[in-house]
Amino acid sequence: MDNLLLLFQAPPLALQVLIDGLLVGAILAMPAYGMALVWGVMNIINVTQGEFVLLGGFITYILFTTTGISPIWGIPVSFVALYVIGWVIYKIVIFRIVDRDLFISILATFGISIMLQQLMNVFFGADIQTADPGLESWGFMDDMIIVAPIRLIAFAMVFVLGGILVMFMRQSRMGRAIRATSQNARAARIMGVDTDKVYATTYALNAAICGAAGALVVMTSVIGPFLGIIYTVRSFLIVVVAGLGNLGAVVVSALGLGALENYAGFILGAEFQVAFVYILMVVILIYRSLMLRRQRRYLT
Amino acid sequence: MTANKPLLYGLVAIVGLVAPFVFPAYVAQFAFAWLFILFALTWDAQGGQMGYNSFGNILYFGVGMYVCIVVMVGYSYNVAEYTAPGGEKAFTFSTHQYIIGLALGTIAGGIASAILAIILGSGILGLRGHYFAIGTLGLGIAAGELAAGWDFIGAGSGVAAPVFPDAMGSRSLFFYFVFFAITVIAFFAYKWLYRGRFGLAINAIRDDEDKAEAMGLPTTHYKTMSWMVSAFFLGLVGGPVGLLIGFIDPRDTAFAGVTFGVWMVLMAILGGKGTIWGPVVGAIVFLIFKEVFWIYLLQWQQVALGALIVVIVVFFPQGIMGFLREQWPERFGHRVEETPLNDMNVRGEGEA
């Protein structure tokens, strides 16, 4: 608890923690939005979210170490690579579980997530990795606050990608088809929408968004084959708070989670930061369910 | 088939008692077979019978394990000294200390888990569907992370279990009979519970919780009770598992969500959800798969297990018992006259 006092005694430090939290939180908005997309359109909770993020990170890392080019190029490469991987996974497994009950979809994606974890472990090794783009840190207020430029780039990238996604969903033919399918899949099918293709695109797009997020993660923090589940839980937490299909709310709650988590990590100690996220999720779920229970309703 | 029942039980009992002496090389595997049956049984009490698919039952297993070790060590020594990293002092347990400590620790573990289930139950069991599944998943991992940060119980570096005293003979054999006893007790406890009002109540919750509640059934009470019973047995077995394995890692042994936590779900599904024999069959079949994977697929065993999960869930969700029931319904209707399986069958036919 000494650190709590420290935050009040040194306001620049509090600001530093806040800024770091917000910059990390922005990245979390991406897998969360992908999860909301898949959940809303296909009624599947995709537990592989975290593994897609890490896979994007590993692809960027491999690109960085083998060719030596700046890891920023990993963002488009991971996006495309994960789009393909997502499509393949849809064509092998996911299309079989779209109409099945939710338990089957959770467990099946959980199985895929275990497979991906172990495949990453076999191919990339169990060590944690990071790809440093080698940019110099910027100091503000007499170097009291230090910001890594890559985090700012990541922050900006989130908004750029978000803008592109919104444009895609609003303007393009496929975006319209996705929105129509999420409203009513049967009606969309009657109107001539190829829902199978819509599902495949949605799932692949989700994987691609996660992949791009993974490229940002590997530049700003670390990745390892078994660190995926925390991203899945964070995504779930953000979606539960923000609701489905509202990108603005997703970004705001992601920023909030990032800041809150960073403060918790600072005050309680870094070893409890991850535990804090899980407990926060359980507490929020119970709180919402208790609120709804007064009205004889429950979370659906 | 009813007449054959004592025969079946007798056969299982004889196999259970004789197997470790006939194949002494596989005692540890047999011990794990009983453990896995218990895992599947306790999971099925929620997932199969009540329709609440928990991914976090491993929480109670881990809590039981830690409580048991702490009580057991605390009976003879200072716990903080014991768990301190790199301690020079050697801790040896005499047979007397070991047995009394184990007995106290095991019971304490079971009771602690049951109490925890009652405390958590009213909140967590109010969640449904997706939310319950992910919420319990988070609960299980959170416990592991907390244990990994708590110095008193060894933090992230884990804690070595008390060494089995040499005077007591084979460690595997001893724990084989511990697991055997706990699992047999659990099996008959569940059988007895499912036969009565409790079984009907949780099946009603599975079929339609809102209607069950509208009929005046205290659903929260029954749901918590079901979770409590599972938590008790998982907590009970946790300590002995920790002692058999010999080393307790917070994430990989105690709160091992990715291994034991998922396997218990998989075994119950493989055998057939919502039947009493399903988890038993599923656990044995799964153990065979697992051992084969571990022997023949170096490095790739976990990948194969992940693939197995996907294949079972996607193509075979009704499980072995479910499949058999579809093939020979009349034999099943006859065979399980006195178990809740029969209730389900009758109801199924009634609806059709």
Nearest to B130 among A96, A106, A118 (CB): A106
Is A300 inside any structural domain?
Answer: no
Is A98 inside any structural domain?
Answer: yes
Give the pLDDT score at B348: 44
Q: Do B317 and A104 touch (CB under 8 A)?
A: yes
Residue B307 predicted with pLDDT over 60: yes
Tell me, yes or no, if A295 comes closer than 8 A to chain B by beta carbon. no
Domain region containing A164: 2-293
What is A260-286 written as a DSSP string?
A: HHHHHHHHH-GGGHHHHHHHHHHHHHH
Are B221 and B50 spatial neighbours (Cβ–Cβ below 8 Å)? no
Give the pLDDT score at B333: 59
Tens digits of per-residue pLDDT, B118-138?
Answer: 998 888 888 887 888 888 888
Q: Which residue has the higher pLDDT, B23 or A184?
A: A184
DSSP state of B248: E
Q: Tokens standing for B138?
A: 């988070």
Q: Which of A136, A157, A145 is nearest to A217 (CA)?
A: A157
Annotate A74-111 with three-state secondary structure: HHHHHHHHHHHHHHHHHHHHHHHHCCCCHHHHHHHHHH
Q: Which residue of chain A comes nearest to B304, CA vs CA?
A: A115
Is A298 inside any structural domain?
Answer: no
Q: Which residue has the higher pLDDT, B299 or B229?
A: B229
B57 in helix, strand or coil?
Answer: coil
CA count, 13 A, side-chain hemisphere, A44: 28
Domain region containing B244: 2-351
Q: For chain A, what is the domain count?
A: 1
Q: Which of B265, B255, B256 is nearest to B308 (CA)?
A: B265
Residue B38 predicted with pLDDT over 70: yes
Is A243 inside any structural domain?
Answer: yes
Q: Between residues 246 and 275 of chain A, which touch chain B (CB distance below 8 Å)?
A: 269, 271-272, 274-275
CA distances (Å), origin A19, targets A80, A93, A136, A169, B161:
30, 40, 17, 30, 44
> What is the band of B1 on the pLDDT scale with cuts at 50, 70, 90?
very low
Taking contacts as CB-CB distances below 8 angstroms, the residues of chain A near B317 are: 100, 104
> What is the band of B352 on the pLDDT scale with cuts at 50, 70, 90?
very low
Give the pLDDT score at A49: 92
Backbone φ, ψ for residue B161 (5° rounding): -70, 155
- Interface predicted TM-score (ipTM) over 0.85: no
Distance CA B82, CA A282 (A): 33
CA distances (Å), origin B307, targets B100, B168, B310, B322:
43, 41, 5, 21
Q: Which of A147, A253, A155, A161 is nearest to A211 (CA)?
A: A161
Q: What angle do CA A204, B138, A59 make, to 5 degrees?
A: 35
Q: Do B310 and A279 touch (CB under 8 A)?
A: no
Q: Mutate one of B310, B311, B316, B318 to test the A interface: name it (highest A CB count within 10 A).
A: B310
What mean pLDDT, rounded, does chain B reach? 82
Give the pLDDT score at A56: 92
Give the pLDDT score at B349: 43
Taking contacts as CB-CB distances below 8 angstroms, the residues of chain A near B126 are: 286, 289-290, 293, 298
Q: Do A269 and B265 touch (CB under 8 A)?
A: no
Taking contacts as CB-CB distances below 8 angstroms, the residues of chain B near A114 are: 258, 262, 302, 305-306, 309
> What is the band of B332 on the pLDDT scale with cuts at 50, 70, 90?
low
DSSP state of B159: E
* Tokens 């289930």, residue located: B117
**CB-based contacts of B101: which residues, under 8 Å, 6+ apart?**
B71, B72, B73, B75, B76, B93, B162
Give the pLDDT score at A248: 84
Q: Between residues 29 and 68 of chain A, which touch chain B (CB distance below 8 Å)?
A: 45
Report which residue type is found at A288.
R
In sequence order, what E strands does chain A have? Answer: 138-140, 145-147
**What is the CATH number for A203?**
1.10.3470
Nearest to A119 among B128, B265, B303 (CB): B303
Q: Do A104 and B131 touch (CB under 8 A)?
A: no
Q: For chain B, what is the domain count?
A: 1
Are B233 and B114 spatial neighbours (Cβ–Cβ below 8 Å)? no
Are B251 and B144 spatial neighbours (Cβ–Cβ below 8 Å)? yes
Are A227 and A221 spatial neighbours (Cβ–Cβ below 8 Å)? no
Nearest to B313 among A45, A111, A119 (CB): A111
Average pLDDT over residues B327-341: 60
Strands B247-248 and B159-160: antiparallel
**CB-based contacts of A68: which residues, under 8 Å, 6+ apart?**
none
DSSP state of B308: H
pLDDT tens series, chain A, 300 aa: 677 777 777 777 788 888 888 888 888 999 999 999 898 888 888 989 999 999 999 999 999 888 888 888 888 999 999 999 999 999 998 888 888 887 888 889 988 998 998 899 888 888 888 877 777 777 766 666 777 788 888 888 888 888 898 899 889 999 999 989 988 889 999 998 898 999 999 999 999 999 999 998 988 888 888 888 889 989 998 998 887 767 888 888 999 999 998 888 888 887 788 888 888 888 888 888 888 877 777 776
Q: Which of A248, A290, A282, A260 is nearest to A21 (CA)?
A: A260
Average pLDDT over residues B42-62: 88
Q: Which pTM was predicted?
A: 0.85
Q: Tokens standing for B1?
A: 């088939």
Give the pLDDT score at A90: 93
Interfacial residues of B (vs A; Cβ cutoff 8 Å) = 53, 55, 123-124, 126-131, 133-135, 137-139, 141-142, 145-146, 148-149, 155-156, 258, 262, 265, 269, 299-300, 302-303, 305-310, 313-314, 317
